[in-house]
Structure 1
């Protein structure tokens, strides 16, 4: 309780007032006592001087003959009830010759130096011709008395006797005691008033502070809608104003921090890469959803992760991590987790003491990039192989012709025909590669025109009529009535349709059946080419649009394909905002949908 600032204020006020009252009281009592004693001494002195000046007997040099007169003077004088006067004649024994004591007849003639009520030192001290005064305590009566020894001088200035007055000071000290009681009561009253006023004053100071404290506690718990009423312009009012200002600034700062945290959390939780933070003890202290999914962690890891569970770096092939060696705490590597290839980047983070607190690990899914790299390597290998084969053939036949001049004309022409075919094959490969390159880098110039779907299909079929007849294949053509025109690059889309139909012709046996259907589907025109050919195995369907991919490489080359036709067709259709969808069943047949926007075709980069 007394640790409260309110009680500290009260105690301070109490002690200040108490000390002030004590000091003032002591000062007043002492001054009052000194004044009263001085007044009493002055009164006694004036009385003695008056008696000396008015008594003719005391003016005589020899008091022995005037004792009765002196005593008569004392008897006639009106003394206070507390006062006693002694007339001491300086003879050989300092004899008391008169007194105002009621039993003066018993005192007269006694030696003043030995009389119990008189102070011999004071008598002897007054013998020097000056008055002497002193307060003496009567231990028998436990009372204080003022003693005054006043010398009476003869004509030549010598002491001939003393007037010794004793006055009881009880009335003065009774008055002083009463004054002490009054001052004590006043002090008690002042202290009570001080406590009350101190409580009120302290409350006026501490209540705003307590209010600030309570609201600061609420702010510490997250409630920032706390404001203090400003009741004054003093330091407390300034404190309240500053608290309100601090509340506003803190609220704004927290809101900004919450906003930034929300942004960071959103980025952290929705970023495409997985991120985990692992402390030096191996505990995961944070992980985003992608990382949780990658590493099969508990979904509540960020809020209820058990400190008993240790994350093993071996799981992601980071055995080299050593927190004592900073060189091992930063780097990147490629690992495979659950058939997915990740590039792992890791770096240390530091705590508030700038010590290493752990490492942050980022998982970047590079599976597609890995596949693309492999496809690129495979593509380069395929290009090299596709070009190497005709070059090897041309070189072989050319060397044969050069080495054997006696070859007959018929064989010579056959060799030249093979060389010519291989050159054509190389030309087709180079042409297709150039077209793919232009499509990849958006260098193809499209000539967009309105064109009839029916006319487009009929022209394509007409160009392939010889192939149909050669393989005795049946062509079923079905074009929906009122099918809208399409805005296309005529040569490009015709190339797509020719490629799809020619593939159907190539891979459909003699006497097979090929159907071509054109219809409107929502805002698109769909051209479907269906055959009952050899079909495509299920495991190859997903790669059918890859460059140089062939289901049956030997047969494809035999039929004159480069392995690039479907890749080119897909990119042309996608550039028109469309798509190609292929469905196939091995040894049953294949169905290809060419989807093109009906009303407006837009070239897409």
Structure 2
């Protein structure tokens, strides 16, 4: 942190300015110097190679002329004075360089000699380079720089051999320029080293010079920090009568006046700050014009606003109500109301708002304070209670109404018709069984909620349990022509659990899959251990699926996606709720993933005990 504060100080900025000035100057000088030197070295290198090529062309002209005369029959019968072997020896001894390859080429483009010992295979072959072709046409200026496949930068020069209109051949030179660039790199490194030394000296000098300016400023900063912490017993030391000295005197005077003002307001400010910071409820204060002047952290969380855009806004607009309603609440005895806020991608928020009018001596009403209390949990609990009572009443009323109507029919004479009476009695019996199942489910949920259900765990083989559950539904699966597969991963171990309870969970899940999977569908049961300490079991199908809007409520009691169809299939709407409570009683978790028309997958996880994990 100290290093960060240093780089944000004036001293650091002055040093940086000094260093940057030197750096920019050195860079400008260096760029100009290096570019000039690079151009000079390249020019000297190219001129030297051109001169070498011209000299060799003049020297080789005699060899080529004599050779052409002999071929034309103009030479004498004696041995020729100069041969290509002599020319090769001259090229290798006088003109060859370790950084260049020199070739002498006749008028037909055939290589007569080369200075590169590893490239003697080209002798006698034809050189088709563009520069050679241009040189054999009498064009003298043929040079090109390129980068080879190995990354080496090279220069190509081709000069025609022949002083007149007739061209006897060409001199072809491929010279490496790496030595030139290496020289430039060495010079650049020397220049960078010198620049770094100059920058270091500049930084040291900048530290010394900037301290004379920054030390008085640091003293002022230190004293300002002390004043911010409430310490007024020290004063800034005046080091001179310059601008910084005058600033110090003005600061001391300002500190005295500030101490007087803070003493008057400190007590009330501390009280207000303590109240606002420690409130669990939201608080919004407005002035006598009804505009927001204070809003605490909790109120911003409830209303999903920020302080910058809220201050100055009308209180009624902030709460989403009309000013008339605000005035009515202020004048009423209760002074409170419940508002509902709906934020994007969140459940509705119920907030109880209580208004209190602020009064000021001689001015009457000076503003309003609105206290916001989040009562969403209470509202949801009350709503769930109402829905639960309504659902239970509805679920019981339907079979009771059916039983009553059939009993009345029996009483009215249907009892005398055995066939019809038997049918009515059978319906009454089925409805009674339905009520019994509903009451049993409710009792089981009640026991699970109150933790009265004993979970008796035993070591259970997961594969045997899954196969046994699947066998119980074999008849229903065969009737619906639904295939079922079981997949147990090799790393799945036996686990301690209440087998009857977990089988009940699996029964509910598979039963739901059978109900909502069309004929010819498929159900897949999978067991694995994505983590060594947890068993994961999933039941998936390719049935009708569940709409996305219903996924958040699918585990609620009596909640049905399609109420009419669910009742027709005999469900009580409590199966998934019971499954969730059983899994939670085992210390696990359950979740459901589904897409409409694509199928549903329910996954629950159960923890292995420490003894099992150790085993």
Q: Structure 1-normalised TM-score? A: 0.52
**Residue number in structure 2 paired with 1:575:** 585
Give the distance between the partners of 2:489 and 2:558, measured in 1 at CA: 35
Residues 501 and 298 (structure 1), Cα distance of their counterparts in 2 relative to 1, 3 Å cut: closer
Is structure 2 residue 541 aligned with structure 1 residue 534?
Answer: no
Q: SS of the residue aligned with 2:467?
A: helix
Contact preservation (8 Å) 1:317, 1:335: no
Q: Which residue of 2 aligns with 1:69?
A: none
Give the match for residue 353 of structure 2.
Answer: 345
Matching of residue 223 in structure 1 with residue 230 in structure 2: yes
- Alpha-carbon offset, residue 457 of structure 1: 1.6
> Which residue number corresponds to residue 514 of structure 2?
505
Alpha-carbon spacing, 1:330–1:375, altered in 2? closer, same or farther (3 Å): closer
Instruction: Deviation per CA, 1:236-288: give whole Å up to 9, x if none.
Output: xxxxxxxxxxx9xx99xx99x97x988755544xx4x4321223332322112
Q: What is the 5 A alignment of 1:174-323?
A: 222-224=229-231, 226=233, 266-268=277-279, 271=280, 273-292=281-300, 295=303, 297-300=305-308, 305-306=311-312, 310-312=314-316, 315-317=320-322, 319-322=324-327
Q: Is the 8 A contact 1:507 1:533 kept in 2?
A: yes
Question: Higher helix fraction: Structure 1 or Structure 2?
Answer: 2
Structure 1: 5+ residue stretches without partners: 1-215, 229-246
Change (3 A) 1:297 1:543: closer
* Distance across 1 between alignment mates of 2:577 and 2:361: 58
Cα distance in 1, alignment partners of residues 606 and 323 from structure 2: 50
Quick one: which of 589, 594, 612 aligns to 1:584? 594
Q: Residue 41 of structure 2 corresponds to which residue in structure 1?
A: none
- Give the distance between the partners of 1:401 and 1:412, measured in 2 at CA: 7
Contact 2:358 2:369 in 1 (8 A): no
**CA separation in 1, counterparts of 2:277 and 2:496?**
42
> After superposition, what is the alpha-carbon deviation per residue over 1:428-482, rounded to whole angstroms, capped at 9, x for unaligned?
1111111122222333222233333223222322322332233232111111123
- Structure-1 separation of matches of 2:609 and 2:233: 62
1:590: how far off? 1.1
Question: How far does residue 485 in structure 1 lie from its aligned partner after superposition?
Answer: 3.0
Of 434, 449, 470, the match for 1:440: 449
* Matching of residue 563 in structure 1 with residue 568 in structure 2: no
Q: Does 1:370 align with 2:374?
A: no
Task: Assess, with a 3 A threshold, how the Cα gap between structure 1 residues 320 and 533 changes in structure 2: closer, same or farther.
Answer: closer
Distance 1:220 1:538, change over 3 A: closer
Asked if structure 2 preserves the Cα contact closer than 8 Å seen for 1:329 and 1:348, the reply is no
Secondary structure, aligned partner of 1:494: helix
Alpha-carbon distance in 2 for matches of 1:218, 1:529:
65
Per the alignment, in what secondary structure is the counterpart of residue 510 of structure 1?
A: coil
Summarize deviations over 1:8-59 as a string: whole Å, max 9, x none.
Answer: xxxxxxxxxxxxxxxxxxxxxxxxxxxxxxxxxxxxxxxxxxxxxxxxxxxx
SS of residue matched to 1:447: coil
Per-residue deviation at 1:544?
1.5
1:276–1:330 Cα change, 3 Å: farther
1:467 corresponds, among 466, 476, 498, to 476
Tell me if the contact between 2:284 and 2:295 (Cα under 8 Å) persists in the aligned partners: yes
Q: Deviations over 1:59-99 (max 9, x none)?
A: xxxxxxxxxxxxxxxxxxxxxxxxxxxxxxxxxxxxxxxxx
**Local SS of the residue matching 1:382:** helix
Q: Deviations over 1:331-380 (max 9, x none)?
A: 22112233634333324365786976433222234445434433332222
Partner of 2:565, secondary structure, is helix
Shift of the 405–414 alpha-carbon distance from structure 1 to 2, 3 Å rule, reads closer
| 1:414 maps to 2:423 | yes
CA deviations 1:85-141 (Å, max 9, x no partner) are xxxxxxxxxxxxxxxxxxxxxxxxxxxxxxxxxxxxxxxxxxxxxxxxxxxxxxxxx
* Alpha carbons of structure 1 residues 386 and 357: separation in structure 2 relative to 1, 3 Å: same
The 1:219/1:333 distance shift into structure 2, 3 A limit, reads same
**Alignment check: 8 A CA contact 1:484 1:599 kept:** no
Q: Find the counterpart in structure 2 of residue 521 from structure 1.
A: 530
Closer, same or farther: CA 351–497 of 1 in aligned 2, 3 Å: same
- Higher Rg of the two aligned structures: 1
Instruction: Give the root-mean-square deviation of aligned CA atoms.
Output: 3.8
Compared with structure 1, are the counterparts of its residues 412 and 289 closer, same or farther at alpha carbon in structure 2 (3 Å cutoff)?
Answer: same
Which of residues 398, 401, 407 in structure 2 aligns to 1:389? Answer: 398
Query: What SS does the aligned partner of 1:384 have?
Result: helix
2:337 aligned to which of 328, 333, 338: 333
CA drift of 1:330 comes to 5.5
Question: 1:221 & 1:459 partners in 2: Cα distance?
Answer: 75
Q: For residues 142-183 of structure 1, what are the alpha-carbon distances to aligned partners after superposition, in whole Å with 9 as ceiling and x for unaligned?
A: xxxxxxxxxxxxxxxxxxxxxxxxxxxxxxxxxxxxxxxxxx
Aligned residues of 2:337 and 2:354 also touching (Cα < 8 A): no
Return 5+ residue gaps in structure 2 as ranges: 1-222, 236-258
Q: What secondary structure does 2:452 align onto?
A: coil
Q: Report Cα offsets for 1:492-543 as digits up to 9, x if no partner.
A: 2221111101111121223321110000021321111111122222222222
Is contact 2:486–2:526 with CA below 8 Å preserved after alignment? yes
Give the structure 2 partner of residue 181 of structure 1. Answer: none
Question: For the residues of structure 2 that align with 1:225 and 1:277, how far apart are their CA atoms?
Answer: 33
1:521 and 1:312, CA in 2 relative to 1: closer, same or farther beyond 3 A? same
The answer as to whether partners of 2:517 and 2:544 remain within 8 angstroms in 1 is yes
